[in-house]
Amino acid sequence: MKLSTHIYIAISLIVLILMLISSITIGVFTGNSMRKKVEQALSETAFHMADKMDQFMWSRSGELYTISALEPMKTLDNVDEITELLNRLKLQFPSFSWIGVTDVNGTVIAATDDILKGGDISQRPVYQQGIKGEYIGDVHEAVLLADLLPNPTGELMQFVDISFPLTDNSGNTIGVIAAHLSWEWAREVRATVLEPIDNDQIEIFVVSAVDGSVLLGDEAQIGKMYESDKSRFIEASSIADGYLNYNGLNWTIYVRQDKTTALSSVHYLQWVIWSIGAVLFIVFVLLGRYYGKAISKPLDTLIKALDQARFGEKPALPTHKGVLEIERLSETLHELFDALNINMATINTLENVVNTDNLTGISNRTGLKNYFDLTTRHYKQLSVLSIDLDGFKQINDQYGHEAGDFVLCEVAKRLQMTIRDHEIVARIGGDEFVVLLIPNETPLDIGSLVARRIIDVINKPFIFHSFSLQVGCSIGCSSWNEGETLKIAIQRSDEALYRAKSAGKNRFEN
């Protein structure tokens, strides 16, 4: 076989193998990165949905409990006044389909729009459980109210029950206040969560913790067992396990997206890579065939450089002078590796964008999670600080969002000044920040020390143009211990933050 043929075959095989390795490596890396990004986004959506549902239930149960503590509920003598209170609550919060007050025997003595007034609900769980104490029941179909409430759509009516016992001033149980929440509120929450994203491509399901049936989702699946299809969908989930003093009904929130849609950009990138690879392969085959004889002498050095690239090393490509054909081949190989390096640099840049808050330049929720996953491989405890600015809304309202953005950026800089290089500050919401510290003492002691430092630096004025702006901050401190999730640790620090807010703001609580 002629030397030119050897060169032609050798160059063809080397270029083909190089392009295969490069395209497969980039495709796999990009596919995994994009999949993780989609999974993270779906996880955040599931958590957001669960959190909103828990906050909604906490608010409605709190409103009913507040009504139960009013003076007319201590005697049940003034039925007209009680009815007016119930109707006013329903008018203010239309998600209450029905609210009623019973005597101690379960007879309805007052109700919104007088529905079921005089009726006996003593056999219903909302009374039987409510007479014993606070009761929040899972989703169920309408029974007594099915034919009494307006239902213009004709769809199946579903409710969530809330009830509390009523006691007189001596502490004796004298009745029950009960309410049915229309399950329509869950659809409204879902619409709110899906509004900022492409809701035609993402599905949300709410699944009962009791029997695994679908409570909210595709209409054809409601009432059936939820079936995961990970061969077709990318899926994430979160548990609605309560908010503050509301314990939650442990609904499982599933959020999923069709793989074809979610990874469409990856498929397109793979197609581009293969197309470029095919074009480059053809180009090099033709060059090898045409210039085979001319490049036979320096071929050994070129093959050696390509072999280095093949096994992941940075190739030292030689530059040949004197023979035009060899110079062109050498230059083309340089351009090929430069293009591959640019692609990898672009991928690294995209990964940095995913982990960084666009406004402040510090880490976002994704960056916080990645830092947590890496750090907890080496440490068994962390200090966790949840920070919320006090008075920030007034700055936005009085000076505009430009001033608000300026304050957020300056706050981010000051927070970074209070921690060490190997610790992290992340912005996870509008004016909400989380700090993770690596303690050399007990986590709460370190958290308290840094919290005082943060309050001091945040309280200093911010000079925006000719204005001196002032904000404070409330901080909740907690610790993360080995075996726990980041979500649990942040939930504890959020509870401490709530206590700090309630105690007067611009302070910290453990």
CATH code of 92's domain: 3.30.450.20
In a domain, 311, yes or no: yes
- 3 state DSSP class of 195: coil
Tally of CB atoms within 10 A around 314: 9
Choose the final residue of a domain: 265, 289, 312. 265
In a domain, 18, yes or no: yes
Contact call for residues 478 and 447 (beta carbons, < 8 A): yes
Contact call for residues 54 and 241 (beta carbons, < 8 A): yes
In this structure, are 194 and 212 located in the same domain? yes
- 3 state DSSP class of 136: strand
Q: At what angle do helices 264-290 and 3-68 cross, to 10 degrees?
A: 170
In this structure, are 233 and 291 located in the same domain? no
Contact call for residues 211 and 252 (beta carbons, < 8 A): no
Cα gap 164→175, rounded to integer Å: 9
In this structure, are 246 and 329 located in the same domain? no
Per-residue pLDDT, 254: 94
Per-residue pLDDT, 423: 96
Residues 6+ apart with CB under 8 A from 27: 266, 269, 270, 273
Q: Which residue has the tokens 């314990």?
A: 247
In this structure, are 225 and 118 located in the same domain? yes
**Element spanning 315, H or E:** none
In a domain, 360, yes or no: no
How many contiguous H segments (helices) and E segments (strands) does the chain have?
A: 14, 17
* Residue 448, domain extent: 365-509
Choose the final residue of a domain: 355, 376, 404. 355
In this structure, are 370 and 347 located in the same domain? no
Contact call for residues 434 and 369 (beta carbons, < 8 A): no
What is the number of structural domains in the chain? 3
Output the domain CATH number for residue 467: 3.30.70.270
Residue 186's region, left for phi above 0, alpha for psi from -120 to 50, else beta, is alpha
Q: Where are the beta strands (DSSP E) in 196-261?
A: 202-207, 214-216, 233-240, 251-258
In this structure, are 203 and 319 located in the same domain? no
Describe the strand order of the beta sheet including 424-427 as a list of residue ranges. Answer: 424-427, 432-437, 381-390, 472-481, 508-509
pTM of the model: 0.49
In this structure, are 187 and 217 located in the same domain? yes
Q: Which residue has the tokens 């034919």?
A: 147
Angle CA 123–246–87, to nearest 5: 60
Tokens of 468: 């001196």
In this structure, are 331 and 384 located in the same domain? no
Cα gap 161→180, rounded to integer Å: 5
In a domain, 343, yes or no: yes
Phi (first) and psi of residue 201, to 5 degrees = -105, -10
In this structure, are 7 and 145 located in the same domain? yes
Per-residue pLDDT, 337: 65
Active site residues: 431
Computed on alpha carbons and rounded to an integer, the radius of gyration of the chain in Å comes to 32
**Element spanning 231, H or E:** none
In this structure, are 151 and 12 located in the same domain? yes
Per-residue pLDDT, 248: 87
Tally of CB atoms within 10 A around 424: 22
Contact call for residues 220 and 227 (beta carbons, < 8 A): no
In this structure, are 225 and 329 located in the same domain? no
3-state helix, strand, coil in the chain (%, to 5): 50, 20, 30
Torsion, CA 406, CA 357, CA 361, CA 262, rounded to 10: -140
**Element spanning 131, H or E:** none
In this structure, are 148 and 29 located in the same domain? yes
In a domain, 394, yes or no: yes
- What is the pLDDT tens value at each position of the chain, 510 positions in all? 665 676 667 777 787 787 777 767 766 777 678 788 888 989 999 999 999 999 999 999 999 999 999 999 999 999 999 999 999 999 999 889 899 999 999 999 999 999 999 999 999 999 999 999 999 988 877 666 656 666 555 556 788 999 999 999 999 999 999 999 988 888 889 888 888 876 557 889 999 988 889 988 888 888 899 988 888 889 999 999 989 888 888 999 999 988 888 777 766 777 777 788 778 778 877 776 676 666 666 656 666 766 666 555 666 666 666 666 667 767 777 677 666 655 555 666 777 788 999 999 999 999 999 999 999 999 999 999 999 999 999 999 999 999 999 999 999 999 999 999 999 999 999 999 999 999 988 899 999 999 999 999 999 999 999 899 999 999 999 999 999 999 999 999 999 999 999 998 999 998
Angle CA 458–463–468, to nearest 5: 85
Cα gap 234→187, rounded to integer Å: 22
In a domain, 177, yes or no: yes
Look up residue 485 and give its DSSP letter: -
Choose the final residue of a domain: 265, 282, 306. 265
